[in-house]
């Protein structure tokens, strides 16, 4: 049986030459900025060139899918990373936003044929968001960067 996988880093495979677009929601920017820093750190540590990383800001999480679609459709990028933070409030708005953003990002990836990494935090509390943006639970932006490299390398191996 032949096994197809995308490796993160080895002597032949790393992030060199990978073109990355990051879409980041400005809402809850104090959290999202930490996700961006984590993603950038992860990409640079794995040999993605700073010149190969573009950052696009959108007003909020709901706008992330359409921006991902536009960027993925240009053909300039190997992968798109979606970053945002949706924190539950007192109304049902949270449920609608989370559902639409996650479906939208998944649809973009399927339609565009390139990986779109989902780094949108959906948390009940601000404390949970802070934990996932670089304290106790790691940094979701960094995790998305590693996943992005792995997925691009998988796609390249498949051909």
Binding-site positions for 5-amino-6-(D-ribitylamino)uracil:
27, 61-63, 85-87, 118
Given the residues 7, 16, 76, 93, select the one marked as catalytic.
93
Alpha helices in the chain (DSSP H): 29-45, 64-72, 93-112, 126-132, 140-158
Residues 6 or more apart in contact with residue 119 via CB below 8 angstroms: 35, 39, 81, 82, 83, 84, 140, 141, 143, 144
Binding residues: 27, 61-63, 85-87, 90-91, 118, 132
Active site residue 46: no
Binding residues for (2S)-2-hydroxy-3-oxobutyl phosphate: 90-91, 132
Known catalytic residues?
93
């Amino acid at each position: 049986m032949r096994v197809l996988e995308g490796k993160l880093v080895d002597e032949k495979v790393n992030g060199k030459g990978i073109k990355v677009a990051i879409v980041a929601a400005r809402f809850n920017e104090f959290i999202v900025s930490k996700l961006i820093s984590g993603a950038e750190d992860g990409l640079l540590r794995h040999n993605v060139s700073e010149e190969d990383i573009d950052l696009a800001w959108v007003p909020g999480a709901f706008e992330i899918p359409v921006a991902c679609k536009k960027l993925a459709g240009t053909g300039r990028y190997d992968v798109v990373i979606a970053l945002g933070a949706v924190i539950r409030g007192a109304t049902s708005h949270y449920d609608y936003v989370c559902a639409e953003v996650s479906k939208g990002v998944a649809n973009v990836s399927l339609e565009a044929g390139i990986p779109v990494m989902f780094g949108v935090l959906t948390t009940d509390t601000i404390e949970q968001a802070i934990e996932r943006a670089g304290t106790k639970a790691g940094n979701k932006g960094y995790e998305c960067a590693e996943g992005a490299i792995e997925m691009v390398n998988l796609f390249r191996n498949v051909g």
